[in-house]
Structure 1
């Protein structure tokens, strides 16, 4: 991923917090010149030995399964909030741009066995079901429902590199930075408000 130095984020804690909060990503693979992509939850975790991984599953009916082999390469893309930034908000002439947060992860596959798949899906369900009024538990599902597990393949991706870009108007002075934040709040959509919040937080940590 192309990242100008000013927009590069190398804060491990911030990046990993982002991955946990924005785990619905894009799994990209390539085999014999054919690239495929699937939108799925890719859950970040650390093993006892400190190895960083993503774990997930896809349908066996998905052609991308043919790419998922032990040792094969994977690219995972995670997108955070984003928003258009009009150059009319500045006190000088400039072209419009876009502010956004994104993380790219590269790594290699390990196909999970039956127990590993069970644990991966169980972890995923607990993460999103724990906040429900009547959470669904893997252990409580009927044998009929659990047969659906036969239709998916589970895998881990051992992380080899993480690239994170936080493009949040770092190249603007305080006056124009504040103007962008104010206009983003006025825009009113959730992406603009989220970017404005991220811009405020980043600028406050620099002071």
Structure 2
């Protein structure tokens, strides 16, 4: 990923927080010389000194069969993004687009059934535990779970490289930066409003 120096992020804790908050990723591999992708929720975890991404996809999805021939796969995470009008600057310039994106490269492998089960338990914990009536693993019938697991393929990716770009107008002066935030807050789409909040939080750091 091309990352100008203003927008490159190297703080691993900041990157991990971003991935946890934007865990619906895009997994890209190559099949017969053509890139293919699946959009799925993923879990990032650390084991000793290594980082891993785990997830699962439908057995009928042909992408998991490409893992044996892939030295590396690409996982893309994206946060809020928005158009930045040049009318928001105090001087003549061109419009641009602000965004947050993380690219992760690593070697994939298929999980054994018990490992896949543990990953599914973690997924439910992450997305259900804060709800009023959480549906966690032990609340689901063994018959349903057995049927569902047979239709899934769990996988693990050992991370080899992480690239992160947070293009958030860091190269603008303070007046323009604050005006961009104000203008984004007034935009009708939720991405623009969320991006404004991200930019506001970065000012506080």
TM-score where L is the length of structure 2: 0.94
Contact map agreement 1:29 1:36 (CA 8 A) in 2: yes
Runs of 5+ unmatched residues, structure 1: none
Contact map agreement 2:30 2:70 (CA 8 A) in 1: no
Whole-angstrom CA distance in 2 between matches of 1:33 and 1:70? 11
Q: For residue 198 of structure 1, what is the aligned residue in structure 2?
A: 198
How far residue 57 of structure 1 moved from its aligned partner, in angstroms, is 0.3
Moved beyond 6 Å, runs of 4+: none
1:75 aligns with 2:79: no
How far residue 70 of structure 1 moved from its aligned partner, in angstroms, is 8.2
How far residue 200 of structure 1 moved from its aligned partner, in angstroms, is 2.4
How far residue 129 of structure 1 moved from its aligned partner, in angstroms, is 1.1
Contact map agreement 2:129 2:136 (CA 8 A) in 1: no
Question: What is the number of equivalent residue pairs in this alignment?
Answer: 204
How far residue 26 of structure 1 moved from its aligned partner, in angstroms, is 0.3
Runs of 5+ unmatched residues, structure 2: none
Q: For residue 126 of structure 1, what is the aligned residue in structure 2?
A: 125
1:53 aligns with 2:52: yes
CA RMSD of aligned residues (A): 1.5
Other structure's SS at 2:126 match: helix
Whole-angstrom CA distance in 2 between matches of 1:110 and 1:185? 43
Whole-angstrom CA distance in 1 between matches of 2:88 and 2:140? 54
Contact map agreement 1:70 1:108 (CA 8 A) in 2: no
Deviations 1:89-137 (A, max 9, x none): 1121111111110100000112100110100111111111101222112
Other structure's SS at 2:55 match: strand
Q: For residue 113 of structure 2, what is the aligned residue in structure 1?
A: 114
Contact map agreement 1:85 1:96 (CA 8 A) in 2: yes
